Structure 1
Amino acid sequence: MIIVLKPNITRRQENAVLKEIQKLGYEPHVMRGVARTVIGAIGDERTHASLETLTAWPQVESVMPVQKRYKLVSREAHPSSSTVKVSSNVILGARKFHVMAGPCSVESEKQLMATAKVVKQAGATVLRGGAFKPRTSPYEFQGLGEKGLKLLAKARQETGLPIVTELLSEQHVDLVAEYADILQIGTRNAQNFQLLIAAARTGKPVLLKRGLSMRIEEWLLAGEYILANENPNLIFCERGIRTFETYTRNTLDLSTIPIIKNESHCPIVIDPSQGCGRADLVMSLCKGAVAMGADGLLLEVHPNPAEAWSDGAQQLTFDHFTRLMREIKPFLAAAGRD
């Protein structure tokens, strides 16, 4: 840790900080400059008390970590890119690009089966669908629950597509893990740390969406909970953040693609459906995500979006999705992906 002292403090105030650093188990190294005195504190943060408490001291200007707080997800710990095996033919993070597609909510067997068959024929490799839905209003459709999970399992049996679906509660961890191939942690639960731990302990791949107002470091640290609980199968998912802009539902932050690629070895997929909330903008955002090096897309597709039970405005029709899958091919080739 680096402790920066305020200017014009007394030697007695400086010595008090040095004694506190030693008391907490660290070895202080003093570097005096013209305007500031900086102290380097050497020690293992995992076995010693945090030095961040020094920020409350009147003579301390700032306390900064030397190493990144997220250790396991960082490229410092794992320089080469990781892959996540979902099934025998779906490996995220490798050369092959993957598209996860399906309805926002599982509504009926007819709706789900029709969608699953169309997205597979168009080239999708994973079926998405919500059985449990986190809704802002308690009066909105909350999902079919276990019935929805059973329909997803039936669709997997008929199409061969693995399933990604959202996990909302620790209470449902075993139930959802029984049916799902990928556990999705949504934006509202991105810092629900006990849920992250429970999801990690299933051993299933975890797709971690970015929180609605989450900073990159917070997102990476949330991912650290997955790896710290002995589950290496982490997939980051950018799904838009809340900003001052109201033209779109959220602001899709495509800059997270190179940032995550620089900071972490884990794969990243992009959800442009949630990212903008408008089906007419999804295709352009998909092309941008592919060109910037994303490892996959998470898309909402519905037989008739106008009649969807949730988020109809952002769901693609079958024709629109099929067209999208054709039009991203040149961008995949330019990005060196299959």
Structure 2
Amino acid sequence: MKFNHAESFFSAEQQGQPLVIAGPCSAETEEQVLQTARALKQQNIHLFRAGIWKPRTRPGSFEGVGSMGLAWLRRVKRELGMKVSTEVATARHVEEALRQEIDVLWIGARTTVNPFAVQEIADALQGVKVPVMVKNPVNPDLALWIGAIERIYHAGVTDLAAIHRGFSSYQKTKYRNVPVWQIPIELKARYQGLPLIVDPSHIGGKRELIFPVSQKALDLGYDGVMIETHPKPDLALSDAAQQVTPERLAEILGQLQVRKTSYDDAELENRSEQLRLQIDAADHDIIAALARRMALVEQIGEYKKLNNVQVLQLERWKEIFRTRAEWASEAGINPAFIEELYKLIHVESIRKQTQILDGV
């Protein structure tokens, strides 16, 4: 896949600033949609968003107003001159949205997980020139995310963007959906022309997390933000806790800093290159140390095989997990990072020892 970022809808209006997509999680009433749009029009946002069809986790919750909401978005477009966007999950949604002149479509996380549903949408988009955004799937699966983008791309839609809205997790964290930043970073590395937009509302789940998540995304080179905005967030029919007022949105946007993409001073660039070389040397030392550790792991595996001892020694693992985190704290390193690192190291150690015991 090849993307021309310069000619994309998602970069054409930015003028050196991040693309801003804002609007309510759900279109609830015509008055609410127009009230929000008028307030956002004053802020010159690039794209107005509102959910019409809302796929919910469980039945009985508000699932959107349906097709009649498209007329409200069309009114926003015609009366205020704003570009409008909504989520589609079926071919019928696509056809109805295009009939009502919706400018940009997006595919939600619950749809991205289903290749059949994405293909149905792709088939409906054949021969249509409309920008499309694809949210990451619910679970942290880069291949599934890329697959959804590929299906839309192969339908002839080349003006695409990816939306990072975080991933579900069984662990309790401060986020509604954990960011797992390495996944969108890998996507950006593979497809450098593909615009990447952060959805801090769904990542955070709480309005106080919108600014820090947005800033981190911009620091990582993201191209824009999608922030859910409602005139009375606490009364919203869906996702009330993660929506902000238009006034608060203006404050957030005013606080965000856009970093330079490169150094503009030769001396700073030279110093940075020297530090990169030192980092390369440090990484070489780390890999050499890991190689020595794995050689020792293999020796232990041979000893266990000789003495018919099982691979997993739980007390020993608990000791490693505890002491390495303590050593990290003493060294000024985030212990949570070291814990995650040693989980990976332990998995590889178990794999090596299991191979030895099984004679593989």
TM-score (norm: length of structure 1): 0.70
In terms of fraction of residues, the more strand-rich structure is 1
> Following TM superposition, by how much is the alpha carbon of 1:255 offset from its aligned partner in structure 2, in angstroms?
3.3
Q: Aligned to 1:245, what secondary structure does the other structure show? A: coil
1:200 aligns with 2:125: yes
Q: Give a deviation string over 1:22-50, Cα, whole Å, max 9, x none.
A: xxxxxxxxxxxxxxxxxxxxxxxxxxxxx
| Among candidates 254, 263, 267, match of residue 181 of structure 2 | 254
Task: Tell me the distance in 2 between the aligned counterparts of 1:128 and 1:286.
Answer: 17
Residues 304-319 of structure 1: pairs in structure 2 closer than 5 A: 304-319=232-247
The 2-side partners of 1:261 and 1:172 are apart by 29
How is 1:11-26 mapped onto 2 (pairs within 5 angstroms)? Answer: none
Matches of 1:92 and 1:226, distance apart in 2: 23
Map 1:224-303; keep pairs closer than 5 Å.
Answer: 224-247=150-173, 248-264=175-191, 265-303=193-231
For the pair 1:175 / 2:96, whether they are aligned, the reply is yes
Separation in structure 1 between the aligned mates of residue 5 and residue 170 of structure 2, nearest angstrom:
34
Opposite residue 188 of structure 1, the aligned amino acid is R
Counterpart selection for 2:12 from 91, 99, 107: 91
Post-superposition shift, 1:286? Answer: 0.8
Distance 1:305 1:111, change over 3 A: same
Aligned residue in 1 for 2:55: 134
Is 2:71 the partner of 1:186? Answer: no
Gaps of at least 5 residues in structure 2 are: 263-360
Mark the CA change 1:160 to 1:335 in structure 2 (over 3 Å): closer, same or farther: farther
SS at match of 1:332: coil
- Shift of the 93–244 alpha-carbon distance from structure 1 to 2, 3 Å rule, reads farther
Counterpart of 2:21 in 1: which secondary structure?
strand
Q: Which runs of 5+ in 1 are unaligned?
A: 1-71
Find the residue that maps to 1:106 and give its secondary structure: coil
Aligned length: 255
Distance 1:211 1:243, change over 3 A: same
Superposition RMSD on alpha carbons, in Å?
A: 2.2
Amino acid at match of 2:181: L
Classify 1:254/1:116 alpha carbon distance in 2 versus 1 (closer, same or farther; 3 Å): farther
Aligned-residue offset at 1:225: 0.8
Identity of aligned residues (%): 29
Counterpart check, 1:320 vs 2:248: yes
Could you state the TM-score of these two structures normalised by the residue count of structure 2?
A: 0.66
Q: Is the 8 A contact 2:94 2:125 kept in 1?
A: no
**Structure with greater proportional helix content:** 2
1:110 deviation in Å? 1.7
- For 1:122, the equivalent position in structure 2 comes to 43
Q: Is the 8 A contact 1:252 1:272 kept in 2?
A: no
Superimposed CA distance per residue, residues 261-293 of structure 1 (whole angstroms, 9 cap, x where no aligned partner): 210121111111011211110111111111211
Deviation at 1:82, TM superposition (A): 5.7
C-alpha contact 1:81 1:267 (8 A) present in aligned 2: yes
CA distance in 2, matches of 1:296, 1:199: 27
2:221 corresponds to which letter in structure 1? G
Instruction: Flag the structure with larger Rg.
Output: 2
The CA deviation string for residues 146-198 of structure 1, in whole angstroms up to 9 with x for no partner, is 21111011112222221110002222221012231111100011132323413
- 1:83 touches 1:94 (CA, 8 Å); kept in 2? no
In structure 1, how many angstroms separate the alpha carbons of the residues matched to 2:13 and 2:139? 26
State which drifts further: 273-282 or 250-259: 250-259
Higher relative contact order (CA 8 A, sep 6+): 1
